[in-house]
């Protein structure tokens, strides 16, 4: 039958789909996600991800002990972050009998890979909208100007240093700090010897591969979904994302839900006899939200004013 290879390989195909999705995403892999999200929800529903409790620091001194003062017992209070799952990203492809019989040799690379690219781009765009929707009060501006970075832009390194200070002053831990840059911002940074020179980074391959290296306490990444002249410095806890798998429909010939690395998706296939073709559909539900504005800042490149 025309759709046999789809049905028989459902588990393998859905696993390949998830792997390709995870590899192609940048922003969703950097934000805070709770992989225990309730799967029995649908588009437009609100899910709640758990926010860890924060307890005060305590110290029992000899003075307190000598005075017979008891220790203080604190209460653990967990809170939840509600996120509306309002983005249903999908890709649907029809596969006529003649294509399957004559043209398709590797379903994963010829059909599934382009589908995953489409889904990952849409999910990435949705998360990027949470970044770009940040209030102007979180913008970092630096008055000092320099052409050291090349291209006639203000020195972006000064912005990054100021962003580092901003987060530290807000008591944001140094672990899991990220710098996500748009293409032009990233290009200016790569042109800066302080950022990309092999003898500074200590890695002889950095110039050859244009690899981004940790800088001023941030792990840098480039994202094509970020405005080209902008960058965001943040910690993982600044933005939260929830993903939910759409339910497996009863009418599909093959339907698989896969969950790993905080990503969830559904792949399904059925046969459409009216048009003599298989249908391959990949989809996932997602939503994202700004959780803590003290953990994220936005930087914008600006030309040096003569």
In a domain, 305, yes or no: no
For residues 128 and 179, state if they share a domain. Answer: no
Radius of gyration of the chain, Cα coordinates, nearest whole angstrom: 24
SS3 readout for the chain: CCCHHHHHCHHHHHHHHHHHHHHHCCHHHCCEECCCCCCCCCCCCEEEEEECCCCCCCCCCHHHHHCCCCCCCCCCCCEEEEEECCEEEEEEEEEEHHHHHHCCCCHHHHHHHHHHHHHHHHHHHHHHHHHHCCCHHHEECCCCCCCCCCCCECCHHHHHHHHHHHHHHCCCCCCCEEEEECHHHHHHHHCCHHHHCHHHHCCCCHHHHCCCCCECCEEEEECCCCCCCEEEEEEHHHEEEEEECCCCCCCCCEEEEEEECCEEEEEEEEEECCCCEEEEEEEEEEEEEECCHHHEEEEECCECCC
- Tens digit of each residue's pLDDT, the chain (306 residues): 333 333 334 445 556 666 666 556 789 889 988 644 444 555 567 878 777 777 888 889 999 999 999 999 998 887 788 888 889 999 998 887 765 555 566 776 677 778 888 888 898 999 999 999 999 989 987 544 545 445 567 778 888 999 999 999 999 988 889 999 999 998 888 877 776 644 444 444 433 333 577 888 899 998 989 999 999 999 998 999 988 877 777 777 777 776 655 667 788 888 888 888 888 888 888 899 999 999 999 998 876 654
Q: What is the reported pLDDT for 210?
A: 39
In a domain, 184, yes or no: yes
In a domain, 259, yes or no: yes
In a domain, 264, yes or no: yes
For residues 9 and 85, state if they share a domain. Answer: yes
Residue where the block lists tokens 């993982």: 236
Q: What is the pTM of this model?
A: 0.77
In a domain, 65, yes or no: yes
Q: Is 188 exposed, middle or buried (0-12, 13-18, 19+ CB in 10 A)?
A: buried
For residues 171 and 114, state if they share a domain. Answer: no
For residues 10 and 155, state if they share a domain. Answer: no
For residues 31 and 59, state if they share a domain. Answer: yes
In the chain, the number of structural domains is: 2
For residues 22 and 76, state if they share a domain. Answer: yes
For residues 200 and 53, state if they share a domain. Answer: no
In a domain, 306, yes or no: no
CA angle centred on 159, ends 157 and 160, rounded to 5°: 65
In a domain, 96, yes or no: yes
Query: Residue 182's domain is classified under what CATH number?
Result: 3.30.2320.10
For residues 116 and 197, state if they share a domain. Answer: no
For residues 151 and 18, state if they share a domain. Answer: no
Contact 269, 93 (CB under 8 A): no
For residues 166 and 33, state if they share a domain. Answer: no
For residues 149 and 182, state if they share a domain. Answer: yes
Spatial neighbors of 149 by CB under 8 A, at least 6 apart, are: 155, 156, 157, 188, 189, 191, 192
In terms of DSSP bridges, do strands 79-84 and 46-51 run parallel, antiparallel, or are they unpaired? antiparallel
Structural domain harbouring 86? 4-132+241-287
Spatial neighbors of 207 by CB under 8 A, at least 6 apart, are: 196, 197, 198
For residues 141 and 211, state if they share a domain. Answer: yes
């Amino acid at each position: 039958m025309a759709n046999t290879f789809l049905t028989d390989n459902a588990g393998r195909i859905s696993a390949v789909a998830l792997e390709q999705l995870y590899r192609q995403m940048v922003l969703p892999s950097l934000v805070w996600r709770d992989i225990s999200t309730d799967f029995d929800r649908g588009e437009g529903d609100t899910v709640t991800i758990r926010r860890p409790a924060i307890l005060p620091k305590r110290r029992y001194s000899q003075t307190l002990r000598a005075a017979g003062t008891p220790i203080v017992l604190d209460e653990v209070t967990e809170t939840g972050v509600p996120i509306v799952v309002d983005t249903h990203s999908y890709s649907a492809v029809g596969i006529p009998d003649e294509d399957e019989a004559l043209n398709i040799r590797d379903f994963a690379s010829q059909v599934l890979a382009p589908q995953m690219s489409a889904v990952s781009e849409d999910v990435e765009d949705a998360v990027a909208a949470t970044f770009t929707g940040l209030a102007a009060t979180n913008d970092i501006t630096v008055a000092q100007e320099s052409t050291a970075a090349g291209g006639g832009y203000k020195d972006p390194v000064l912005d990054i240093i100021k962003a580092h200070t901003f987060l530290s002053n807000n008591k944001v831990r140094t672990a899991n700090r990220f710098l996500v840059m748009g293409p032009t911002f990233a290009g200016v940074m790569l042109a800066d010897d302080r950022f990309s020179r092999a003898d500074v980074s200590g890695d002889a391959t950095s110039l050859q591969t244009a690899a981004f290296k940790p800088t001023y306490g941030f792990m840098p990444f480039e994202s094509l979904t970020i405005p080209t002249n902008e960058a965001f410095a943040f910690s993982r806890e600044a933005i939260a994302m929830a993903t939910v798998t759409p339910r497996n429909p009863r009418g599909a010939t093959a339907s698989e839900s896969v969950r790993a690395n905080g990503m969830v998706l559904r792949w399904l296939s059925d046969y459409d006899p009216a048009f003599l073709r298989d249908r391959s559909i990949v989809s996932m539900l997602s939503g994202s939200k700004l959780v803590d504005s003290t953990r994220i800042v936005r930087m914008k490149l600006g030309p040096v004013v003569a």
